[in-house]
Amino acid sequence: MGSRLVGYGSYLPERVMTNQDFEKIMDTSDEWIVQRTGMRERHFARDDETVVDMATIAAKRALENAKLKIDDIDLVICASTSPELDFPSVAVQVLGKLGATKNIPAYDVRGACTGFIYALHCARAFFTAGMHERILIIGAEKMSRFIDWSDRSTAVLFGDGAGAMIFERSTSSYSGIIDTVVMSDGREFDMLHGSPDHHIIMNGPETYKKAVELMPNAAQYIMDHAGITADNVDWIIPHQANLRIITSGAARLGFPLEKILVTVDKHANTSAASGVLAIAYAFDNGILKHGQLVLYPAFGSGLTWGAALIRV
């Protein structure tokens, strides 16, 4: 038992915040931000625009893309670190907003920037067990909620947005979510976490070192497990944390730069939404073609890390 991708969708808020906009409000420069992160701009949600709003639009677009209705879905999983409400889940609120008339199971996973991989991991297990027919997976974040405007080292790094993918059960184990691996290490909590007043606390240099070690490790693990090499992969679409992390990780794995999809310049780090937003961007711009093999590694607070191998 396996799965196949039947639809995708994404949403980016209208408001664009450029590096030059940051220059006007804090002691930073476009040059510093581009050199250290590769970021040039990011989207910020309106004050009244929630994670649920963004998740709902991305999910609606994925349903339209798949030519399905919400009642055709039999499980919704949403990966988000930044929901405004502690309960209920974003996933169940999306069902309400989309007008589901059936009792569809729905829940959130919280794996920080690795959240979407954790959601894919759950979906793969359900398909393998034959438990669900069609799963809607959403990654949605309003990271701008967490910005500490007095901390220039974290304020410039994040953006908002949402992406969604719909997978259907299939008899082929060579399509859809082919393989996943997820890991965590709670001993490294101090490196990157939220604070009780909803700010990002991060040791940047230590986080950087761990990211360039653990993302390639997860990617290599999953390629070894699947019995493939970098030559067999069409695209590496990593969590978009930082351009330097992406390129040094890809170099460690022996991936040529032409195979790496980068959206961090346009979206910055949108945590659990970053990989799925990048996949949607690649489809929309004719970069990614159906049938291609995508390797998607991620890393985030926890620490958490992992990778997914998806034939789109």
- For residue 80, give the nearest of 271, 263, 238, 279 by alpha carbon: 271
Q: Is 231 helix (H, G, I), strand (E, B) or coil?
A: helix
**3-state SS assignment for residue 102:** coil
Distance CA 189, CA 247 (A): 25
Which position among 199, 239, 242, 267 bears the catalytic label?
239
Q: Which stretch binds ligand ACO (CB under 6 A): 165-173, 178-186, 203-211, 286-294?
A: 203-211
Q: Out of 88, 105, 194, 204, which residue is the one contacting ligand ACO (CB under 6 A)? A: 204
> Is 207 near ligand ACO (CB under 6 A)?
yes
Asked if residue 36 binds ligand ACO (CB under 6 A), the reply is: yes
Q: Label each residue of 35-90 as H, E or C.
A: HHHCCCEEEECCCCCCHHHHHHHHHHHHHHHHCCCHHHCCEEEEECCCCCCCCCCH
Instruction: Please report how the helices 90-97 and 51-66 are oriented relative to each other, as an axis angle in degrees rounded to 10.
Output: 60
Q: Work out the number of other CB atoms within 10 angstroms of the CB of residue 29.
A: 12
235 or 299: CB nearest ligand ACO: 299
Q: Which is nearer to ligand ACO, 68 or 147 (CB)?
A: 147
Q: Which residue is nearest to ligand ACO (CB)?
A: 204
Helices and strands (DSSP H and E) totals, the chain: 10, 13
Our answer to whether residue 122 is catalytic in this structure is: no
Considering only residues 208, 225, 226, 228, which one is a binding residue for ligand ACO as defined by CB under 6 A? 208
269 included as an active-site residue: yes
Contact call for residue 156 and ligand ACO (CB under 6 A): yes
Q: How deeply is 290 buried, as exposed, middle or buried, from its count of CB atoms within 10 A (0-12, 13-18, 19+)?
A: exposed
Between CA 109 and CA 116 the distance in angstroms is: 8
**Binding flag, residue 40, ligand ACO (CB under 6 A):** no
Residues 217-246 that bind ligand ACO (CB under 6 A): 241-242, 245
Q: Out of 45, 211, 236, 272, which residue is the one contacting ligand ACO (CB under 6 A)?
A: 211
- Binds ligand ACO (CB under 6 A): choice among 1, 15, 32, 225: 32
**Region from 38-46, 69-77, 150-158, 258-266 binding ligand ACO, contact rule CB under 6 A:** 150-158
What's the chain's Rg over C-alpha atoms? 18
Q: Which of 43, 113, 122, 267 is catalytic?
A: 113
Q: Based on the shown chain and the rule CB under 6 A, indicate whether residue 107 belongs to the binding site for ligand ACO.
A: no
Residue 82, both tokens: 């930044």
Q: Considering the rule CB under 6 A, would residue 111 count as an interface residue with ligand ACO?
A: no
| Choice from 301, 309, 311, 312 touching ligand ACO (CB under 6 A) | 301
Segment near ligand ACO (CB under 6 A); pick from 71-79, 204-212, 246-254, 256-264: 204-212
E strands in the chain: 2-11, 15-18, 41-44, 75-79, 106-109, 134-142, 160-170, 176-184, 192-194, 200-202, 235-236, 293-300, 304-311
Look-up: residue for tokens 């974003």?
Answer: 90
Q: Is 132 a catalytic residue?
A: no
Closer by beta carbon to ligand ACO, 153 or else 292? 153
**Judged by CB under 6 A, does residue 113 bind ligand ACO?**
yes
Q: Which is nearer to ligand ACO, 108 or 168 (CB)?
A: 108
For binding to ligand ACO (CB under 6 A), which residues are involved?
28, 32-33, 36-37, 112-113, 152-153, 156, 192, 202, 204-205, 207-208, 211, 241-242, 245, 269, 271, 299-301
Indicate which residues carry an active-site annotation: 113, 239, 269
